[in-house]
Structure formats: structure tokens, C-alpha cells
Chains A and B, each alone.
Chain A
Amino acid sequence: MISFVLMVIFSVRPSPIVDLKVMDNPNDEGGQIILKWDYRKDADLSQISYIQIMRIDRPGTAPVVVEELKPTARRYMDTDLKNGHPYRYFIRVWFKDGDYIDSAISPPVVPRAQWLHKGRIAALIILLLYGALLIYYLKKARRGERLTIRPIAGLQAVDDAVGRATEMGRPLLFVLGLGTVSDIATLAGLAILKRVAMKAAEYESDIIVPCFDPVVMAAAQETVKQGYLEAGRPDLYNEKNVYFLTNDQFGYAAGIDGIIMRQKPGAIFLQGAFYAESLIIAETGHSIGAIQIAGTSSVTQLPFLIAATDYTLIGEEMYAASAYLSRDPNSLATIKAEDWMKIIFIGLILVGAVLETVAGVTGNKSWSLIKTFFAGGAQ
């Protein structure tokens, strides 16, 4: 009898699962628990058929199988759990011979929703800093202090472009690209459109705005109408000049090319989000000799627009355009705050580069504090 008991005891396999860690998923809306585990170094994984994640919802109740995983898995996230309720887990390892063994049961873990995404603290600090700078410059603007920003060649050329088209007796073409109204580039394009529409109204020129998106079309109609109204020429506004063309990328490019070739606009504004069609439109515009002012947030399209158009608003120049053209002190305050943020970022990049170099040379990771702080945003 004793020999039989000893045989059973010594034949029991130890669980290959070690270091089972169960924790509430950080920075989430709750209801999620993360499990991480490892295998014993001497465990023969080829003998394992699969593993089961087992959950005990209440003490004394039978465990439920949450998921079956391959033995290569080291991590699992249990979802759709009740916030504030404690859960315990263990892992059941099934061997190819039909036997199984359970790991140790974890202590109870309670899933909770968090009020602050800790991985985004860096972004929050940047936003608060930006907000503080913005308030400072808004106060300055309201005190009547003059805020100046550097001249932007592409924007200085707007008046010339509208004037030239008027002198030639040709219309203006404003292309807002493929963006929707939720794209910042499209919103910035609409702001520029308003200034161009005002100039067009002043010079009694026609402005054609073929749109890719119906919502953008509705916004563009309102924008052009407002521009004509502010210029004191609402009688000149023609709603039919702001119309929907198509919702197909190359159909849109073909349509714009057709308008360019048939109506021969004197000035073409390409302001918005552009993709592969940017060069097709810009080169067609160049072929008819129109003065072209482009601006986009699509970094991959910038080289094409720089090569094919007369003026290109690079990066944030496009976003600054409405403030630059309107000279509104409140808008200029946002640009001043942005410029200071840029200086702060340049400083952080320089300090970060030095600290990273020191960390690389000394092998001491604690020098990478700036990188570690900002990498939190990637979580």
C-alpha cells in the first residue's frame, strides 16, 4: 500500500506553468484582465497538446474554460468581465497522452475602469502647456499687442494669383482634395477657401470648387457664401459653382483635369488632403499655365506638389494660412503658441539626443528618461 502511494506521489508531474501573473488591464474602460505566464525551463513543450485558461468567478464554484491556446502562448487578455468583481485564474495544461495538470490558482484580481490614461500623460502635459501658452498670447492679443509671424511666400502670392486670374478673365479653381470634413487638412483648406472667396468677390471673379465629399461640399458652399458676404458682394455668389463631383479618387482626378482643360482657370489652389491624384492634377494645371498654390498635410505628396506647383505650403504653413490671411489677433495667438511649442520640442529633441547618446555610451538606461517619458504615449 505504502509503495503504491509513493509511486502515485512521485509519478505526479509538476505544472510546467510558472510565474503566472494576473492583473487588471491598465488604461482601459474596465472589464479586462491580463494573464502572463512562463514555462519551466525543463518543461518539454512538445509533449503539451494545448492549454486552457480557467477562471473561477465565485469561490466554491466550478472553474469555467475561458479559452484554449497553443503551448506557444505566453499572454492572454480576458474581456467582457464585470467591473468591481474579483476573478481568480489558473492554467490547465493538457498533455498529448490525455493527462492534464493545473497551475497554482492566482490571487483574486478585480477589473476596474481608469479615470486617467497614464500612457498619455506626456500628451496631456503638452496639451496643458500649449493651452497655457495659448491663454497667454490670447490675453496679449486682447490687450491690443501686435503679434507678428514670419512671411509665407505661398500665402503672399494668393492676392497675386486671384488678381492674375481676374486680369486674364479666367475663373479660379479651388480643389479641397480627398479629405472629409473631419480631416484637419480639409478644415484648413476651407479656411483658406474663405479668404480666396473674399478676394474673388472683391475682384468679381468666379470661383469653382468641385468637391469629393458631399459634407465637404455643404461646408464649402457655406464658406464661399460667407466669403462673398463678408466682401460685401453676396449678389455674386453662385451656389452652382461649388458642387459635388464624385467620390472616386481617380474619377475625381479625371473630373478636375477635365475642368482644368475646358475652363482653363487662371489660378488653381490645391489645399487639403491629397494622395496619388495630386500630381495628375498639378501637372495638368501646369500644362495650361495656371498659377498654382498647393498645400497639404500628406507628407508623401509634398515633393510632387513642390515639383509641379508654383508655391507650396509645407506642413504647418497650411494650418497657419487662415490666421496669416485674416490677421485676426486671436488666430495669430494660436500660431504664436504653436511657435513656442516648436521651440520647446526642438529643445527636448536636442536634450533627448544628448541623453540617449550618454545612455548608449554608458550603458545606463536611466539616462533615457525623456525617451521613456514620451514613449508612454505609444501604449
Chain B
Amino acid sequence: MKREIPLLISFLAGTLIVISLFVPHPPFNKMEETLNSWYIIVSGFTFILGIDSLLLYNWDKIRRKGKDWPFALTVILSFVVTLVWGIVSGVRTGHIFSTNSTFRNYFYLYIYVPLQATMFAILSFFIASAAYRAFRARSLNATLLLITASIIMLGRVPLGNAALIPVLWIAVLLVAWVLLLEIKATTSASTRVGYLLMLILMVVIAVPLTKFLYGNLSAATDWIMDIPQMAAKRGIMLGLALGGIAVSLRIILGIERSYMS
């Protein structure tokens, strides 16, 4: 019974949601809303579980004086300060985020928001380092990615058209340099021929490509985003939708049971 009851609940909840998608008649019309409300209520209670887990995990580290225990102490102190400050501020001003709430004016605006902004800002450096690795022209795919990304980036900035020729030619020269290094380094004759052909192809198409793009950069960017990019994206989304149905059916039919022990 320990396994059968959760399976039955999953089957009934899943089936009712599927039926409610196709049957607008009561009582199916409110089924999804009702089940979602139940989920919100249940998940509200599970926050107690979450807090319990967080505090116990960190308290255990402090108690054992485990590695990096001061970080665990920081977590618990931050938790307590945030909780107490929030409650006191909320009770005193009537609302935790009212304009005269010290929690909002000091903690939220001067600690929490800047910390979040800092984490988000770090993303720009990570994008640069990931892009560097992805755009290294070590294969035909990476070279195509580099050229396409250069066109898109130039097409999306106001000075793009003016900067097109120098940027594109610097990119071409860099790729040519990388390819020459690869030709020198490789021992395989066939790979060497492949790199050489890639180099020739790139130099041959660089001039007409630059001529074409100059003045048509915005249109070219839109075309790449609307046609090849969108086609690939829709292909993935179609697969995701079908895969989602497969996972849902596996759970509804009890084939997939990894979520319960």
C-alpha cells in the first residue's frame, strides 16, 4: 500500500489535469486551479522542512567544527538577523516593505539588492569567458558560430554597421592565424588539408560577405534570428513538448517512480 497509494494519487491527479484541458464543463473547469491551490498550501508547509534542513545542516557543521564552519555560522546568523529584523520591522510599520521600514531601507535596499546585482553582474565576465571558448575557430562548426555571432553582435549595436569592416576583418585574420597554427601543429595530412580548405574558403567568402553585409547588416541579423535560429529553436521546442508528454505519461501510468522510495 505504501507504493500503491502515491501511484494512485499521481494517476488520478495527472488524469484529471489532462481531462480538464479538454473538458471546460464543471467540475473539470476548476480542477487545475484547485490542485494548484493544494500544491501551494502543501509547498508552504514544506518551507518549514526547508528551513529545518538548512539550519540543521549548518548547525551540524558548526557543532563538529567541520571544514569552513565560519561560513555555516554566517548563514545561521544571516538567517536569524533577517528573520528578526523583518518581523520587528513588519510589526512596527505595518508592512515589511513600507517606506519607513528599516528592513526595506537598510537591509533590502543596501544589502540584499546590491548582493543580487553583484551576482548578476558577474554573469558578464562568465559570458565573455564562455564565448571565448565557444568561438575558438577549431572546427567548421565553431568557425560558423564565430562568424554568425559576430554578425549578430554587430547587427544588434548602434555602431555595428560602421564597425563592420574592421571587426569582421580582424575576426577573419584571427581565425586565419588560428587555422595556420593548427595546420602547423597537426600531424595528420587529411586534417591539414581540411584546415587548409577551411582557410581558403574563409578568405574567398570574406570579401563578398563583407560587401553584402555592409548596408544590409540589420536585415541579415533579422534573417538569421527569424529563419535559421528560429527553425532550430522550434525543433528543440517540439522535441521538448513531445518529451514532456512522454515523461508525464510515464509518471501518470506509474512507469516512472524515481520520486518515491
* Neighbouring B residues of A341 by C-beta, 8 Å: 242, 245
* Neighbouring A residues of B24 by C-beta, 8 Å: 27-29, 113-115, 117
B43→A299 contact, CB < 8 A? no
Docked CA distance A320–B259 (Å): 16
Q: Is B134 an interface residue (CB 8 A)?
A: yes
* Neighbouring B residues of A108 by C-beta, 8 Å: none
* Neighbouring B residues of A77 by C-beta, 8 Å: none
Q: Interface 1/0s, chain A 269-283, versus B by CB < 8 A?
A: 000000011011011
Q: Interface 1/0s, chain B 21-33, versus A by CB < 8 A?
A: 1111110011000
| Shortest beta-carbon distance from A251 to chain B in Å | 8
Q: Which of B47-55, B153-161, B214-222 contacts A (4 or more CB under 8 A)?
A: B47-55
Q: Which of B179-187, B204-212, B232-240 contacts A (4 or more CB under 8 A)?
A: B232-240
* Neighbouring A residues of B237 by C-beta, 8 Å: 299, 315
Interface size on B, residues (CB 8 A): 61
A29→B260 contact, CB < 8 A? no
A335→B246 contact, CB < 8 A? yes
* Neighbouring B residues of A299 by C-beta, 8 Å: 233, 236-237, 240
B43→A215 contact, CB < 8 A? yes
B239→A117 contact, CB < 8 A? no
B71→A258 contact, CB < 8 A? yes
Docked CA distance A176–B43 (Å): 17
The A-contacting residues of B in range 150-183, CB under 8 angstroms, are none
Q: Is A38 an interface residue (CB 8 A)?
A: no
Query: Between A and B, how many residue pairs show CB distances below 8 Å?
Result: 199
Q: Which of B54, B122, B235, B259 has the most CB of A within 10 A?
A: B259
Query: What are 24 of the A-B contact pairs (CB < 8 Å)?
Result: A115-B25, A124-B22, A127-B18, A188-B243, A215-B43, A218-B49, A223-B258, A226-B260, A229-B261, A240-B60, A243-B53, A250-B119, A251-B116, A276-B123, A283-B126, A299-B237, A302-B236, A303-B134, A319-B244, A334-B249, A335-B246, A338-B246, A341-B242, A342-B239
- Interface residues, chain A, with chain B CB atoms under 8 Å away: 27-30, 113-117, 120, 123-124, 127, 130-131, 134, 180-182, 184, 187-188, 190-191, 193-194, 211, 213-215, 217-219, 222-223, 225-227, 229, 240, 243-251, 253-254, 258, 262, 276-277, 279-280, 282-283, 297, 299, 302-304, 306-308, 314-316, 318-320, 322-323, 328, 330-331, 334-335, 337-338, 341-342, 345
- Interface residues, chain B, with chain A CB atoms under 8 Å away: 18, 21-26, 29-30, 39, 42-43, 46-47, 49-51, 53-54, 56-57, 60, 67-68, 71, 115-116, 119-120, 122-123, 126-127, 129-131, 133-134, 233, 235-240, 242-251, 255-256, 258-261
